[in-house]
A and B are shown apart, each in its own frame.
Chain A
Amino acid sequence: MANVPYSYGLLLAAVLFGIGFAGLLVRRNLIVVLACIEIMLNAAGLAFVVAGARWGRPDGQVMFLFVLAMAAAEVAVGLAIAIRFRQTLGSLDVDDADEMKG
């Protein structure tokens, strides 16, 4: 374990974040968008853990627990929004929600 360089872990986190963000931009299905946000959250959590290990402190893992709790809450809210979205607009395409245009 200790032999894996920290930069690998950070690189993995960056790649995961990039995948999530790219999905967020490219995909239009609201469920997939929510999944992409999950990926980005986990990428951030991974970065915390790696950083915690790097300095030999527990803070990074504590922070990851917070991220998990927040992610759970976010999913609950996100799915509720998805249901209302579907009821209101009849689809799950995020591009249909453009009523706020200037």
Chain B
Amino acid sequence: MLGLLWLIPALPAAGFVALVLGGRRLSRRVAAMVGAGSVGLAALVTLLVAASFIASPPPGDAYRQVLWTWFDVAGLKPQIAFYLDAMSLIFILVITFVGFLIHLYSTEHMEREEGFTRFFIYMDLFVASMLVLVLADNLLLLYVGWEGVGLCSYLLISFWQKDVQNVYAGRKAFIITRVGDTALIVGLFLLFTQLHTLEIQPLMASATANWPVGSGFAVAAAALLLGGAVGKSAQLPLQTWLPDAMAGPSPVSALIHAATMVTAGVYLIARTNVLYELAPDVRLAVAIIGTATLLYAGLSALAQHDIKRVLAYSTISQVGYMFLALGVSGWDAAVFHFMTHAFFKALLFLGAGVIIESLADEHDIFKMGGLRHRLPAVFWTFVIGAAALAALPFVTDGFYSKDLIIATSLGSVDGSIWLYLGALAGAFITALYAFRLVFIVFFGEQQTPVTRLPRRREKLPLYVLGALSVVGGLVWMPGWLGGFHPLESFLDTALPSTELTGSAFAEGAGSALLTIVIVLVGIEIAYLLWLRWRTATARFAARPTPRAIQTFWLHGWGFDWLYERVFVLPAKWFARVARGDLIEPAVGGIAWLHLRGWRALSATQNGLLRTYLTAAGVGVVIVLAFVVLR
């Protein structure tokens, strides 16, 4: 059964090719069946592969499938090969299943859109690229998937390309992630020149053998890969593209900008964890970036008006938690949070998509209100999603993964009290903004009439994801709750386990109790602020100081403003100045020369046979004269 592995990325890729070739000729029904069906089949194959992998683990707990040798140049011999271990298995399960649910949702959600086939073309290409990314056996193939998902992200953010703002948003995402990607490819060059291979497992073994802990090369390589991860996963300081990426359709936000692509950075760091073991300073930087990002994004989410931007900042914040986990060597915990986050954040985005469509494209949460009676299905699933996001104790999956990260940030040998306090503060802020959303959108007065109700294929993914958001966390219970943790044992076959200090507070119920209290207090305060004392809150928010803070947070702490002045305007200024430099006439001269040459050559093609013959005759005479008279 493991031999079917290649089919998993090949099926969505085949769907992509079929849709491209079919193009406009396909009816919407057929396009939807091909687009969603190919991902569905991939999900089934993934299930088969997973069952066989778990039932009879291959030797070394990893399965490698070599398809062919890509090329062989100067010692660089990358293969098109897939590598399946516990971590990539979790990733492909989430990608194909959540991906299929989102595709299913899109078949109805996008029904009335122009470019329906184009949407599924991009989505299928995205799923195929993402699967290549997480299954790649060498870093070069991983990079192909990495760029593939970046391309699809760009195409799908700009999906409604008739509005130029959407195109700008796509371009911004593309350029900013490119900054990180450049660091990543430089990192790959460094690894290859130093260790002479890009195949991940030999590379990691070679790094351990050749580089002592803290050596310059290990630090440089880890830092460069981190640069790529920061760009893709929208962490500080390359986070500004993600809120604008909400210009794309809601299923895109759910699939790409919440569940899968933005976690590619987490996957990359977890996959190359050996490098980070060798570079403790960079590991600390990962933890600090994660903590800073989760606080930054959480506070920004508190001030947003646009429902999707709230969720976008919350995604940045949750990915920040994953980075924090990676930074304290909690590799398993990061993958666990990736999984639970994929469930509840996809759920929230799909729910938001239904709400936005029901209210005739209204994004402003303050114009929603009172939707719990009109959209009960969305209300209940959205509450489950928000509760999981806020880590409501025991009944949601988000609690188990987030509590694990918070406990690890203190209990790991790399942990510290500052990271722990940051993570706890983040949990409080998360509870606050998650339930601010729920109370403002679903309670209070209804502001905008509901014009359209969700249909069957839109509601079904909400139910499934809602169920997963409840039970998804039960695969890894903390020790003081019985310690049922098959996921940890499974992931430990692929990732090193976290070294703990043995602190009773962090590993026992003490830390968890603190988390529970903080989350419940956060939800209670959200209830008071945005439901019970709603008018008082609005009055307070209108005062000058809170207003200024709100504006500051609303605009993401002025990062866009800063980047505009530091990078964009100087670049534009330089482009303007450089127009009249010395190079310009040289370049223009070359163009002029070509134009002239083209005109002269074009004149000889006058279409008159006799002219051509004369030229041929003259040529013969010259050649003969040359031969005879020489």
Contact = CB atoms under 8 A, between A and B. Distances in A.
Interface of A: 21, 24-25, 28, 94-95, 97-102
7 contacts: A25-B613, A25-B614, A94-B608, A97-B609, A98-B608, A99-B607, A100-B605
A25 B604 CA distance: 16
A38 to B, nearest CB: 16
Nearest to B609: A94
Contacts of B605: 100-102
Given A95-B608, A97-B607, A102 B602 contact: yes
A95 B610 CA distance: 8
B546 interface: no
A101 B606 CA distance: 4
B617 interface: yes
A24 B606 contact: no
Nearest to A100: B607
B348 to A, nearest CB: 62
B617 A25 contact: yes
Interface string B584-615: 00000000000000000111111111100110
Nearest to B610: A25
Contacts of A21: 617
A99 B605 CA distance: 10
B600 to A, nearest CB: 11
Contacts of A94: 608-610
A51 to B, nearest CB: 17
B614 A101 contact: no
A98 B607 contact: yes
Nearest to A101: B607
Nearest to A21: B617
A24 B607 contact: no
A25 B606 CA distance: 15
A54 to B, nearest CB: 19
- Categorize the interface residue count of chain B: 10 to 19
Interface of B: 601-610, 613-614, 617
Contacts, number: 32
B613 A24 contact: yes
A26 to B, nearest CB: 8
Contacts of A25: 610, 613-614, 617
A101 B610 CA distance: 13
A101 B607 CA distance: 4
Nearest to B620: A21
Contacts of B607: 97-102
A100 B605 CA distance: 8
A24 B617 CA distance: 11
Given A25-B614, A94-B609, 6 more contacts: A25-B610, A98-B608, A99-B607, A100-B607, A101-B605, A102-B604
Contacts of B613: 24-25
Contacts of A28: 610
Contacts of A98: 606-608
A102 B605 CA distance: 5
Contacts of A95: 608, 610
B616 to A, nearest CB: 10
A97 B601 CA distance: 20
Nearest to A24: B613
Contacts of B609: 94, 97
A98 B607 CA distance: 4
Contacts of B617: 21, 25
Contacts of B614: 25
Contacts of B608: 94-95, 98, 101
Nearest to A26: B610
A21 B616 CA distance: 11
A50 to B, nearest CB: 18
A98 B606 CA distance: 7
A28 B613 CA distance: 13
Pick the most buried of B603, B604, B610, B614: most chain A CB atoms within 10 A of its CB.
Answer: B610
B627 to A, nearest CB: 15
A100 B608 CA distance: 8
Contacts of A100: 605, 607
A67 to B, nearest CB: 19
A97 B609 CA distance: 8
Contacts of B603: 102
A94 B608 CA distance: 8
Contacts of B604: 102
A94 B614 CA distance: 14
A98 B605 CA distance: 9
A94 B606 CA distance: 13
Nearest to B601: A102
A22 B96 CA distance: 77
B285 to A, nearest CB: 62
A97 B607 CA distance: 7
A17 to B, nearest CB: 11
A52 B606 CA distance: 41
Interface centre among A94, A97, A100 (most CB of B within 10 A): A100
B612 to A, nearest CB: 10
Nearest to A22: B617
A24 B608 CA distance: 12
A21, A97, A99, A102 interface centre (most CB from chain B within 10 Å): A102
A41 B563 CA distance: 78
Contacts of A101: 605-608
A94 to B, nearest CB: 6
A28 to B, nearest CB: 8
Contacts of A102: 601-607
